[in-house]
Structure 1
């Protein structure tokens, strides 16, 4: 993250933008707020499909996050090619999402800013954030656990600290 006047912009992406990516947006927004960096880091989320456009986060994800003390906000939207220009970092929930987002940049000029969110995990080993949509409560808890870990690692990297900033 640079010390310019322009905020650093992070976009989280999953398929429908109702479970994993809004969870990441909500959790990271909370972490950034706790760190006093809301004026320096902007956060959003999107989906690779527009099926749920305008909908709030899935009620099961909202319940999971609310129980952990997070404020639920936001509505689903589909990612746009323009997002690849507008955001400094785009973090995807799984390999399919990563491939879909990179397909919006056929020349590969912006691939260096598109990664898996699990790249930033500190304590958990995972190569993706699993989609909890068709599963039970435990799947939503697992998503929250992975995303909290990744958001801690991301914030630590962006702020140049060695661990979670809380």
Structure 2
């Protein structure tokens, strides 16, 4: 497998993208690709810079054997567009904003996560205003998407 640097992006970087980061890191590690798959996460907005992921994202990750308590919210930076090979927005709004921020030379790196990973043109719903059950559904969506993404990356080009 070729080395790849992946950035997951959602609105505030406390629910969807840090959970995606944790899930992808765990799946890559289990598959023996932890050294070549580098993952990070960021948010479009600056509301949660320096904050832990949402307690419900932490809890659902923990329930599935993943620790994301070392992650802290951050806002996407211009340097990220050069530093990462794939920049995966959790929903269409994120992708529109990411493409606005990207330079013409880096815009090709920006994709809708589920479309790129699974071929399905779906948003990952934001569970922020939902109950804990929505976070379990989020985990299942991200686990399926990240599994598909990892399989795609394992196939030779």
Shared fold (TM-score greater than 0.5)?
yes
Classify the secondary structure of the residue corresponding to 1:44: strand
**Separation of aligned partners in 2, 1:133 and 1:71:** 19
Deviation, 1:46, is 0.2
Q: Is the 8 A contact 1:118 1:127 kept in 2?
A: yes
Of residues 66-75 and 38-47 in structure 1, the stretch that sits farther from structure 2 once superposed is 66-75
Classify the secondary structure of the residue corresponding to 1:103: helix
Superposed, 1:144-163 pairs within 5 Å as 144-160=139-155
The runs of at least 4 aligned residues of structure 1 exceeding 4 Å deviation read none
Look up the match of 1:51. 47
Q: 1:113 aligns with which of 109, 128, 144?
A: 109
Look up the match of 1:84. 81
**Separation of aligned partners in 2, 1:53 and 1:70:** 22
Look up the match of 1:32. 28
Residue deviations 1:2-51 (CA, integer Å, cap 9, x gap): 3xxxx410000000000000010000000011011121111000000111
Question: Unaligned regions of 5+ residues in structure 2, if any?
Answer: none
Question: Unaligned regions of 5+ residues in structure 1, if any?
Answer: 162-166
Q: Is the 8 A contact 1:54 1:76 kept in 2?
A: yes
Look up the match of 1:136. 131
Q: Is the 8 A contact 1:121 1:146 kept in 2?
A: no
Q: Give the helix-richer structure, 1 or 2.
A: 2
**Separation of aligned partners in 2, 1:39 and 1:66:** 23
Give the number of aligned pairs.
154
Look up the match of 2:96. 99
Classify the secondary structure of the residue corresponding to 2:51: coil
Give the TM-score, by structure 1 length.
0.87
